[in-house]
Structure 1
Amino acid sequence: MSTLVLEMRAGELMVVNGASLRFRSRTRVELVAKARFLFGKQVMSPEGANTPSRRIYFALQCAYVGPEEERETAMADAHRLVAEFQEATTSDMARQLLERSLALAEQDEWYQALRLVRHVMRHEATVLGLDAQTGLPAAAGIAAAAAATKAANLRPHLD
């Protein structure tokens, strides 16, 4: 049996088989069984799904690591969102990447599928003048990041 060892920093988030885990201290995690997981910046919150390509990513994320009973619906949402995006875009590259992403997801190649959607997210951000990390207008993305950093520094540490 093969295992996967991950180094996780304090505050990082990991989703395993639909359960969210936030690490309170630096740790090493060893996965010894087959698991559906994403961690760190790969995990998108529902609030982060604020553009068409980011909604596709979120739907695929839910189909991959969401609760078992929600995966089929999430995959159907991803198909619908991809069709809508493909109809609206003028980018052949985005159309092809999204088509390939769905095919990879259907083949249980989730990391590759999500990676392709992240390429489309960056392309969309560039074309629309959005912050690539937040999907917000570039100036608003910078302001939101600064506010989040300030809020994190002001929060009391609770053990």
Structure 2
Amino acid sequence: MKSSFKIFLKANERIFINGAVLRVDRKVSLELLNDVQFLLENHVLQAEDASTPLRQLYFIVQVMVMSPSDKETALPLFRESLPALINTFSDQTILSDLKHVDRLVREERYYEALKTIRGLYDIEAEILGNNPPSAGLMDNEPRLKAVGG
């Protein structure tokens, strides 16, 4: 069964499809008729904004979508980062969703993995910003360094 996905873009908006960057000159709708890896411009995370553990994981997965030739470099980094995050967080929603992200990445369903990670940002912000570390993050685990350059 073929999957279909309809995307609406504004004038001058970009979309990244299988590593290619497309910019539209006017408002347009695209219907993707088969499985492709894509990322909408407003979901692109800049390296300097990968400042929390989940945003760093997002950035790693994002590299797999935007630069398929770098996938072989990014995948081992993902495989190192994910267990560290699972061992760091104690919040059950985050842990469950990280395991789901792992499955999605193994299935090369990167868009869904990125969407799942984005959905955890508010929980992570609450853990890191509004509560003491022990509320959702173990005190003895190191923070991950920012990825990219």
Contact 2:37 2:109 in 1 (8 A): no
Partner residue in 2 for 1:22: 23
Q: CA deviation at 1:71?
A: 0.9
Partner residue in 2 for 1:83: 83
Q: Which amino acid aligns with 1:59?
A: I
Partner residue in 1 for 2:53: 52
SS at match of 1:35: coil
Partner residue in 1 for 2:37: 36
CA 1:109/1:34 → structure 2, altered by over 3 Å: closer, same or farther? closer
Q: CA deviation at 1:120?
A: 2.2
Q: Equivalents in 2 of 1:46, 1:20: separation in Å?
A: 18
Q: Which amino acid aligns with 2:52?
A: T
Q: Which amino acid aligns with 1:115?
A: K
Pairwise CA RMSD: 2.5
Q: Equivalents in 1 of 2:3, 2:16: separation in Å?
A: 20
CA 1:50/1:24 → structure 2, altered by over 3 Å: closer, same or farther? farther
Matched residues, percent identical?
27
SS at match of 1:90: coil
TM-score (norm 1): 0.67
CA 1:115/1:96 → structure 2, altered by over 3 Å: closer, same or farther? same
SS at match of 1:129: helix
Deviations 1:61-87 (A, max 9, x none): 222x13332112212212212222222
SS at match of 2:123: helix
TM-score (norm 2): 0.70
Partner residue in 1 for 2:127: 127
Contact 2:3 2:35 in 1 (8 A): no
Consecutive unaligned residues of structure 2, counting only runs of 5 or more, are: 131-149
Partner residue in 2 for 1:8: 9
Q: Equivalents in 2 of 1:32, 1:100: separation in Å?
A: 25
CA 1:99/1:126 → structure 2, altered by over 3 Å: closer, same or farther? same
Consecutive unaligned residues of structure 1, counting only runs of 5 or more, are: 131-159
SS at match of 2:8: strand
Partner residue in 1 for 2:96: 96
Q: CA deviation at 1:26?
A: 1.8
Contact 1:16 1:36 in 2 (8 A): yes
